[in-house]
Structure 1
Amino acid sequence: MTLPVVLVAGLHADARRATVDALLRAVPRGVALHHDLTSAPAGTVRRTLRDAGGVLDSATAPLVNDCACCALREDLLPELERLADSGELCALAVVELWDSVEPLSVAQLLRTRGDERLTLVGVVTAVDPALVHPCLANGDDLAGAGLAAARDDQRTVGDTFARQLEYAPLLALVEGEAAPDATDRALLSQLHPLARLTSPGHPAFLPEATAGFDASAAAARVHPTTALLPQEAEEAGVTTFVWRADRPFHPDRLYAALPELACGALRSRGRFWLANRRETLLSWQAAGGALCVEALGPWLAALPRAAWPDVPTARRAAALVDWHPTLGDRSQHLVFTSPGLDVGALRARLESCLLTDAELAAHTADPARWTHHDSDFDRLLEPIR
């Protein structure tokens, strides 16, 4: 017999708590496990176990490697396994994640280090719809907001919230003090078009929250190399603009445009390539004006054919969808979502950063020559080798 586990994530603590409470009311012998990382500066993490009637147990766990998230990982699995060993005393374990903990990392932990006693059956992100816009627009560091999960946590409020939203297949909508409007719901729908949006009080909530979960497929869906990025949409003043191009960016012109592009939309993401980094797939993640650019290894076209069988199937499938006869999977694919989005200005700014016809001709004739082009991007990415 295995113990079904549901993860409930989200920056909105009241919405998260209401969602957990709904699950506990719906499942007799259901319990909720929560690790509060607020006390991490004092060297401990507080663990609470409760059911629909109240707190069953409370204890502290020491920090591991001076990292609250490490302590959570080391303490969570043993506690879940202990609940699983209790047999019929526990019918469902709800893991209520602390504010800034992302469900992807915990789902991966359960997949790689869990055993046959535990089955992850659902991941839910609890959301107060009226707070979606202000949270996404918040470019402050988590540390400044008192939400950092480790000393070296460099995430921002906006990008953490965006990843929490975009990973979970089910968004539990819990209204707070401010009433949401059509813009709030349209924003959620466009950020994660595949998600089911429902209230924890809806009769279908429990079956949807426990319908089953494939952690590998979910990770592939949001990873920049394989992400199922949203399509263009327009609703209630919210626009999703998809921009694609084959030719590479000029590194200097793109670098100069980064502040404008990062602030051009509430949320943007995708993959791109630079003229002086022909072999490297670059990811783009921005929220609240804070931009993260990372090098994620080679494009599939940069690998020898003999190495392709070693590439994950999802990666090969994503590359072959829009395969170019000359460039392979090298392309610009960026998606911008925001209320009041100025699509015309955004498109013009992006296109101004591409290689001109003359530059493209020179690049096509001798792409290796561009690898010696120094750029301010070198401050964001690993040095060219």
Structure 2
Amino acid sequence: DVARLDTMVTVVDAVNLLNDFSSHDFLCDRGETLGEEDERTLVHLLTDQIEFSDVVVLNKVSAARPQQVDAARKIIRSLNADARIIETDYSEVAPSDILNTGLFDFEKAHEHPQWAKELYGFADHVPETEEYGVQSFVYRARRPFDPAKIHALLNATLPGVIRAKGHFWIGSRPNWVLEFSLAGALSSVSPLGSWWASIPQERWPDDERARTYARSLWVEPFGDRRQEIVFIGAGIDWPQLKQWLDDCVLPEEAGDDLGAFAGLADPFPSYQRSEAAA
């Protein structure tokens, strides 16, 4: 039989992973681009490769300081809840650990990222609260964020947070689903589309499954609009982080009239409707 590589394997450097994951470098700064149009950052490449791996080989563990190895373990497990972590030197790995393992499953690859398991509650997921000290917290709320306050918080340092991802809405733009993503030193906010609550029901899809799903997310008075962001890391002061997020939510006294929020100071960039699905 011919050996078949059916495992997604990523090799990371225990000596340099922490520094690389804290970097703002683009791949072009490292001479690793796929071409002139490749605008990816080093952090995005590392995140993608680790999140979708079945096996992560943590190399050069003997050359790394204990603190570097510990940080690398935390980064890997914060990004990927399922990957086997193999610690080694000189990339020495037993062939049986990466060949003919049967680990790779294209349909389940999207379930590897820790953020996805926490945010979407995959049934077979047991949250990691012990291994390497990595913990996950999901923030949920229904009322809108104050645009200026949440913009300041999402651009601030969030101690202990290694990975964060989720969707949210701000009072000044009640139609937009916005996505927050943080990995290492880099974070971004981008438009995902529209809330069902902002679309007239006569324009909803005819598929009853889609309509049922939309209704399952419905809570008056804001419909399916909601804040859902998962934060993953080590040493996160969750009560403090939750308080910071709560402080960004518009209070009950502000009322439920979406039109009343239109004049709020909004530092987020403008989005064109073509950037997101209607």
User: Which of 330, 336, 343 in structure 1 is aligned with 2:225?
Assistant: 330
- Supply the AA of the counterpart residue of 1:213: D
Q: 1:288 Cα shift?
A: 2.8
Partner SS state of residue 96, structure 2: coil
| Cα distance between partner residues in 2 of 1:197 and 1:323 | 40
1:357 corresponds to 2:265: no
Q: Determine which structure has greater relative contact order: mean sequence separation of CA pairs < 8 Å that are 6+ residues apart, divided by chain length.
A: 2
| Cα distance between partner residues in 2 of 1:149 and 1:159 | 14
Q: 1:326 Cα shift?
A: 4.0
Aligned match of 1:192: 80
Q: What TM-score do the two structures reach when normalised by structure 1? A: 0.55
Q: 1:293 Cα shift?
A: 0.8
| Cα distance between partner residues in 1 of 2:169 and 2:109 | 25
Post-superposition Cα deviations, 1:249-307, rounded to whole Å, max 9, x if no partner, equal: 10011122232156762322111111122121111111233211110111234344452
Residues 234 and 240 of structure 1 are in contact (CA less than 8 Å); yes or no, is this contact kept in structure 2?
no
Residues 233 and 241 of structure 1 are in contact (CA less than 8 Å); yes or no, is this contact kept in structure 2?
no
What are structure 1's unaligned runs of at least 5 residues?
A: 1-26, 31-91, 95-120
Between the two proteins, what is the percent identity of the paired residues?
27
Aligned match of 1:368: 259
Residues 159 and 236 of structure 2 are in contact (CA less than 8 Å); yes or no, is this contact kept in structure 1?
no
- Supply the AA of the counterpart residue of 2:55: L
| Cα distance between partner residues in 1 of 2:7 and 2:134 | 29
Distance 1:232 1:194, change over 3 A: closer
Aligned match of 1:14: none
Q: What aligned pairs does 1:33-182 form with structure 2 within 5 A after superposition?
A: 92=4, 122-129=7-14, 131-168=16-53, 170-176=54-60, 177-178=63-64, 181-182=69-70
Residues 229 and 270 of structure 1 are in contact (CA less than 8 Å); yes or no, is this contact kept in structure 2?
no
Q: 1:382 Cα shift?
A: 3.9
Residues 81 and 112 of structure 2 are in contact (CA less than 8 Å); yes or no, is this contact kept in structure 1?
no
| Cα distance between partner residues in 1 of 2:141 and 2:273 | 25
Distance 1:300 1:147, change over 3 A: farther
Partner SS state of residue 291, structure 1: strand
Distance 1:286 1:212, change over 3 A: closer
| Cα distance between partner residues in 2 of 1:249 and 1:232 | 29
Distance 1:355 1:186, change over 3 A: same
Distance 1:316 1:300, change over 3 A: farther
Residues 268 and 287 of structure 1 are in contact (CA less than 8 Å); yes or no, is this contact kept in structure 2?
yes
1:347 corresponds to 2:242: yes
Distance 1:147 1:324, change over 3 A: farther
| Cα distance between partner residues in 1 of 2:112 and 2:134 | 23
- Supply the AA of the counterpart residue of 2:154: L
What are structure 2's unaligned runs of at least 5 residues?
A: 88-92, 120-126
| Cα distance between partner residues in 2 of 1:285 and 1:234 | 24
Q: 1:322 Cα shift?
A: 5.5
Residues 128 and 134 of structure 2 are in contact (CA less than 8 Å); yes or no, is this contact kept in structure 1?
no
User: Which of 247, 252, 270 in structure 1 is aligned with 2:166?
Assistant: 270
Distance 1:262 1:310, change over 3 A: farther
Residues 183 and 237 of structure 1 are in contact (CA less than 8 Å); yes or no, is this contact kept in structure 2?
no
1:203 corresponds to 2:96: yes
C-alpha RMSD of the superposition: 3.7
| Cα distance between partner residues in 2 of 1:182 and 1:322 | 39
- Counting matched residue pairs gives 257
Residues 195 and 225 of structure 2 are in contact (CA less than 8 Å); yes or no, is this contact kept in structure 1?
yes
Residues 17 and 72 of structure 2 are in contact (CA less than 8 Å); yes or no, is this contact kept in structure 1?
yes
Partner SS state of residue 125, structure 1: strand
Q: 1:351 Cα shift?
A: 1.6
Aligned match of 1:228: 117
Residues 51 and 112 of structure 2 are in contact (CA less than 8 Å); yes or no, is this contact kept in structure 1?
no
Distance 1:256 1:211, change over 3 A: closer
Distance 1:183 1:140, change over 3 A: closer
Post-superposition Cα deviations, 1:9-34, rounded to whole Å, max 9, x if no partner, equal: xxxxxxxxxxxxxxxxxx74x6xxxx
Of structures 1 and 2, the larger Rg is shown by 1
